[in-house]
Amino acid sequence: MSAAESVGRAYARIGEAGRPEVWIALRPEREALAEARAIDDRTGAGEELPLAGVTLAVKDNIDVAGMETTAACPSFAYRADADAVVIARLREAGAIVVGKTNMDQFATGLVGTRSPYGAVRDARRLEYVSGGSSSGSAVAVALGEVDLALGTDTAGSGRVPAALQGIFGIKPTRGLVPTLGIVPACPTLDCVSVFARSLELGLLATALAGGPHADDLGGRTWPPEVPLGGPPAPLIAVPSLRQLTELSPEAGRRFIEAGSRLEETGADLLEIDLSPFLQAGLLLYNGALVAERYAAVGRFLAEHPDDADPHVGAIIAAAESVLAHQLVSDRERVAELRQAALRSLGEAHALMLPTTTRQPTIAEVERDPIAVNSRLGTYTNFCNLFDMCALAVPAGEADGGQFGVTLFAPAFHDLLLGDIAARLSAAVPIEAAVC
């Protein structure tokens, strides 16, 4: 299929799906088609473009030249003069931006309902949340509207919606993919994330997006001593079901089955204590670390209080009163818990957890917006605090919806996770699109 045909198919699919809440802004189709024809000319002349014709959705806190960036707050909007680094790299590889997707405002939430542009509904069950904050990006991929989508991930926003939509969500090691041109949520923790129905495409796009940039203050380079793949018999740490108290019985069975599938491929399982991971996760929002969110957009929201989603506004406004010694103390506590977590992992190459707890309905979120949102981050919040990479993998169905697991490893072990995810995903067929 030519790039032009791929773009035409994307716009047709968007029209057929009838899900306007997924998108904040679409590029004019003629503009995307002109870019696609130029790519067809380049490949026709023999140029190698690894993402030629791949259609791309972009979370609307990531700059695309000539388009507004809103972070789901209309009064915050500005027109981007240049592509974010990650966008420039993927476009150079042949990807074509279709539009900007809806999100939890200022990337603060895991539900996908905290947006003035409307709640992004699940791809299959419209009364259920899609997961956030990268809600529109995940649903656009799940619906087959685009091949690939970008999100961001601070607390789990590149993994929770992937699990609830039955697709892959890749959260690389912090600093490997530049965050230049992205509205920050927590600058020391933010990561670009990649959504795809195909593991291979997601990993390829992540690799093409990565690499240092001279202006990226948080950028990191790959250490030469880190292995570039996984061992023949990886040791995978898992918790006991007794510690997974938020899972339903059916979801618990799916988690056990995922471990069994890994064992069938030659992996070994090691049961560990999950306590330090869960304790650290609570600090991300319930402690002083939330001060980073105020540093990012707190002044703007203080000047435009009526423009904030009420729950986002309350979370960020409360962080204004955090004292410096509280932040230092909580960072010390995170370091202590990380050390305990690494001891718990022992010789394990990776950790596998359920990606999230269970999928709530939109009505449940409306009744109890803070607690329901918090539960979705139970098994995700610790990841960036502990400087880990992660990869969310579809793992079947539970309780009428999608179920997924996430693989975690220390920083720079991203390729190891790709190997393990390939073992696991080979046994779980992924739908080409939601019909």
The string of pLDDT tens digits covering residues 394-416 is: 999 999 999 999 999 999 999 99
Please determine, for residue 430, whether its predicted confidence score (pLDDT) is greater than 60.
no
Where along the chain do the CATH 3.90.1300.10 domains lie?
3-209, 235-425
**Percentage of the chain surpassing pLDDT 70?**
98
Average predicted confidence (pLDDT) for the chain: 95
User: What does the alpha-carbon distance between residue 94 and residue 392 come to, in Å, rounded to a whole number?
Assistant: 25
Does the active-site annotation cover 157? yes
Please determine, for residue 159, whether its predicted confidence score (pLDDT) is greater than 80.
yes
What confidence tier does 432 reach under pLDDT thresholds 50, 70, 90?
A: very low
- From 115, 137, 157, 374, the catalytic residue: 157
Among the ranges given (104-108, 214-218, 268-272), the one the predictor scored with the smallest mean pLDDT: 214-218
Please determine, for residue 140, whether its predicted confidence score (pLDDT) is greater than 50.
yes
Please determine, for residue 28, whether its predicted confidence score (pLDDT) is greater than 90.
yes
Q: What is the pLDDT of residue 228?
A: 77
Q: What is the pLDDT of residue 427?
A: 52
Q: What is the mean pLDDT of residues 205-232?
A: 90
Q: What is the pLDDT of residue 30?
A: 98
Query: What is the CATH number assigned to the segment(s) 3-209?
Result: 3.90.1300.10
Please determine, for residue 6, whether its predicted confidence score (pLDDT) is greater than 60.
yes
CATH fit for domain 235-425, picks 3.10.20.30, 3.90.1300.10, 3.40.50.880, 3.90.226.10? 3.90.1300.10
- From 59, 130, 135, 137, the catalytic residue: 59
pLDDT tens digits for range 67-82: 999 999 999 999 999 9
**Percentage of the chain surpassing pLDDT 90?**
94
Does the active-site annotation cover 59? yes
Please determine, for residue 433, whether its predicted confidence score (pLDDT) is greater than 80.
no
Q: What is the pLDDT of residue 152?
A: 98
On the CB side of 280, how many CA atoms lie within 13 Å of its CA? 26
* Helices 199-209 and 85-92, axial angle in degrees (round to 10): 120
Q: What is the mean pLDDT of residues 70-99?
A: 98
Please determine, for residue 313, whether its predicted confidence score (pLDDT) is greater than 50.
yes
Please determine, for residue 429, whether its predicted confidence score (pLDDT) is greater than 90.
no
What confidence tier does 384 reach under pLDDT thresholds 50, 70, 90?
A: very high
Please determine, for residue 127, whether its predicted confidence score (pLDDT) is greater than 60.
yes
What predicted TM-score, i.e. pTM, was given to this entire model? 0.96
Structure tokens at 293: 């969110």
Please determine, for residue 434, whether its predicted confidence score (pLDDT) is greater than 60.
no
Asked whether the beta carbons of 54 and 6 are under 8 A apart, the reply is yes
Q: What is the pLDDT of residue 225?
A: 84
Q: What is the pLDDT of residue 229?
A: 78
- From 133, 344, 374, 425, the catalytic residue: 133
